[in-house]
Structure 1
Amino acid sequence: MRTPPRFDRGHTDDLMTYLAASPSPYHAVANAAERLEKAGFRQVSETDAWDGSLGGKYVLRGGAIIAWYVPEGAEPHTPFRIVGAHTDSPNLRVKPRPDSGAHGWRQVAVEIYGGPLLNSWLDRDLGLAGRLSLRDGTHRLVNIDRPLLRVPQLAIHLDRSVSSEGLKLDKQRHLQPVWGLGDDVRDGDLIAFLEQELGLPSGEVTGWDLMTHSVEPPAYLGRDKELLAGPRMDNLLSVHAATAALVAVATSGDGPSYIPVLAAFDHEENGSQSDTGADGPLLGGVLERSVFARGGSYEDRARAFAGTICLSSDTGHAVHPNYAERHDPTHHPRADAGPLLKVNVNNRYATDGSGRAVFAAACEKSGVPFQTFVSNNSMPCGTTIGPITAARHGIQTVDIGVAILSMHSARELCGAKDPYLLANALAAFLEG
């Protein structure tokens, strides 16, 4: 194996900037698109006819982005190399009728999205972000990135059992944040506030997809700043690394032997079944249209898909120093020891022996060490977009990621070097 690449803290600094600027999937894809635009990529509309020109292109749909780079010499049947990830994270999302309150407190009605660690949202200063749908059919992103809401925890004096029996939260009654005082709760107050913040006329907003986020910025942690604490690393860490890898390959001047692709989907945390999720038609449609736009036939499409490989990049579990018994005794992934190869024989992950060889080759080429993750047999195993991608499109898929602690918390933790190591491995994979 080559010597591991020297750690470039600039990559992790940029990740911190990206995390802070991406409080919703809509912001995450907009910020990824901005990075791609600076590298010469151009947006194409799904409703327009596509041409077969060379270079970088991308499609935006809601909280999902598909980007690809067609190098000189690419044939219609040239296979793709895909890095798949997801843009959504567990959080508290605003209900259709958001205005509520009781006993002199004004509150915002929220619904639980995905599987968050609920206690991590208590007593935390929260902002509000997402997408507003306007009367003229357009959308506006909104990000109130200052302390606006808070889910107050019950004082221990009023629940002495919490020390002996643990914290028990009712998702309906105990997770509704407060954002002001007053008994006069009127429908439309929250949306009117957001219209005012954006300088929009009253009544201009007719729909919304809004969610809370912690306003505490990402930060280096530890004696030597060797740890990174921040929100939404599951899985914007992978989206950021994949975007950086795609830009690096597209601007290297060497010309990859495959067509490199970034596929970042929404709704992974609740099953991926949407028009912007991995279980939807978005990726397959974009890849097929790319083949056909370059003069390809259905036979070329079949050949391209048969040679395509996808790395499904999502965060995994580092061994927890306080709960080591929850991990497999022979697989203890550590922070800053390189990305994970994730394996589950029951296909909760898509990796098999052949896929392991693909990832091992990319890591060897880039000089990046890697680790293997497998669940404790007595613990249920999570899943990713990997098996969905493999089954839906019939393409070889390998599950990988970075080892973190506090997964699904409002604030997660990883080694500061691992995002950089992941990006290097992804670039080597995309080059082919």
Structure 2
Amino acid sequence: MSTDHLQGRAAPPAEVVPPDLRMARRIWPFLLAAAVSLLPFTVFGTFLVPIAAATGGSVAEIGGLRGLGGLAALLVGVAIAPLLDRIARELVAAYGLALLGISSLLGAVGNVFALAAFCLLIGAATSVLGPSVGAAAADRFKSEAAAGRAATLVTATTSMTAMLAAPVVALPALIWGWRGNLVAVGIISLALSGAFFYRGRGRKAPLAADSVRVGYIASYRALGRISGAVPLLLVAMLRTAAFMGYLAYLAAFYDERFELTPGWFALVWTLSGASFFVGNLLAGRYIAMDRPWIGPERMLVLALGVALLSVVAFYFAATLPLALLLTAMMGASHATVAACVTTLLVRRSGDLRGSALGVNAAGMSLGVFLGAAIGGLGLGLGGYPGTAAAFGLITAIAIAAALRVRSPLSLAKSNRV
């Protein structure tokens, strides 16, 4: 605890977080890498029907291969998380981009075995690339507030890419098809990998030399000792389960309740993606302010409360405008939760932020599986009211976990007591 006030010296003022554009200019290579990381699966999802036709398999069979990517992301993310702080961030990103590029070129082969390997390797690559570029962006700034904002800019860029990438990849495909898209993504990824490898040469790992001697299991124990880390990681997993499960059945709900065709539903998907992007961008900027009116810990709970009310009300919406409003609220509230979790993990984990973000990414991969499974169970047992109950229960548990994330001020007061 600082003793400046006891010695008559004023404490140094908190560093003002730079404007977003200035920060983006400083970390643009990491933002670019985050955007490229989504392109392979975007191509796969956008052109699933012609890809299935090329392999001779059904859409369900080929589409199911993407689950391999989630499984790989979970296993690899858990396995390598403690290692992300022991290698220079740029080198980790370079390895992830190289694997992304090789996988994309392999996917362009187009047979079932190549696509299965493509999905597995892309999942593994993104589990390495995402946390490393997020932590690297945060490392470029000294203050905790600026570091947290840099990390949320990475996630905002990722969400924006998810929203815009489908039409972007559709236009070049008119010239060279989906295989050409994958080849182009592969070439871009390998070129970026070389650039990151060049930047990473000679850079030191974030952990000091004496810290590197900490064992593998001890690294997880160190993460567990970070204030609020465990409940934050639980919130991230449960939030992902509720939101991704909700998205998995979104098209079916709009089709059954309002008879929206796929063309009209594309606008609903854009609304959801835009709400998530704007919510993530604005929430990240707000909580990066010096002394915001609502701290990230309290905002986390409030956003989860809005998410709970939105998801339960959504499945009982009787009119299309109300359903659209609740869809926008779901996107914005979950984006706010994601921004709060990322910011708090980066601020509290220090040199372990790469490990923390790696475990967080693995937990979210698990959340994708849980959300689809639990949502399907609720739908099968009780229809859409059952789905509302399932996702509502998941979100309520996330709120209980979020209440255990205490602000530094409240921790200081309890310690004095």
Common fold, TM-score beyond 0.5? no
Length-normalised TM-score, structure 1 = 0.24
> Counting strand residues as a fraction of each chain, which structure ranks higher?
1
